[in-house]
Amino acid sequence: MNKTYNGYDAITHMKNLLVILFMAMITLPAFAQEDEADLPQQQEPKAKEKIQALRVAYITEKLGLTADEAAKFWPVYREYSEKRQTLRHELKSARKNGTPEKDLIDLDLKIKQKELDLEKDYSGRLQKVISAEKLLSLRQAEGDFRKLILRQIQQRQMQNDRRQLRERQQERQQLRNN
């Protein structure tokens, strides 16, 4: 007899999660091998779109969102994410522009307060769409996804480093043989 998880069969839930992880493992290495700065302009948005699609699938699965919940949740969550990203970009821009450290500290604190206010506002809005339990699980799901992406990037980088090392060794061997 299968246990249920948020109305889903536990085995079905695990299968769906495995499919998402498998998709991430297959598609991420293809575009995670290069830094954003190294990506051609037209490919960078594609990589971001793929990551975003995987993020949506991963978080939807982790939270156990129904189709109705997901349809209401994602527009609000995207709006929140965009506003949060704008705040963070403000601090990055100040750092790049050589803002004095004392001013950066003040700006950092102001931005953190704005992020907290933003989180409070959107937390209330999201609770109208999903349960408090799911909202609490959201932060963990975000962190888990971020770790998954970072692991994939690190694994791909390690594979590239090994490949480059083998190529250098082969080149040295060819030079010795000649």
Q: What is the pLDDT of residues 15-60, one digit of tens each?
A: 665 555 555 544 444 444 333 333 334 447 788 888 889 999 999 9
User: How many structural domains comprise the chain?
Assistant: 2
**14 and 49 share a domain?**
yes
Quick check: 68 pLDDT over 80?
yes
For residue range 72-111, what is the model confidence (pLDDT) as tens digits?
999 999 999 999 999 999 999 999 998 999 999 999 999 9
Q: Which domain holds residue 26?
A: 1-65+155-178
Q: 53: alpha, beta or left, given left = phi > 0 and alpha = psi -120 to 50?
A: alpha
What does pLDDT average to over the chain?
Answer: 82
In the predicted model, is pLDDT for residue 156 greater than 80?
yes
Domain-located, residue 18: yes
For residue 135, being part of any structural domain is answered with no
The helix/strand/coil state of 22 is helix
* Whether residues 121 and 79 fall in one domain: yes
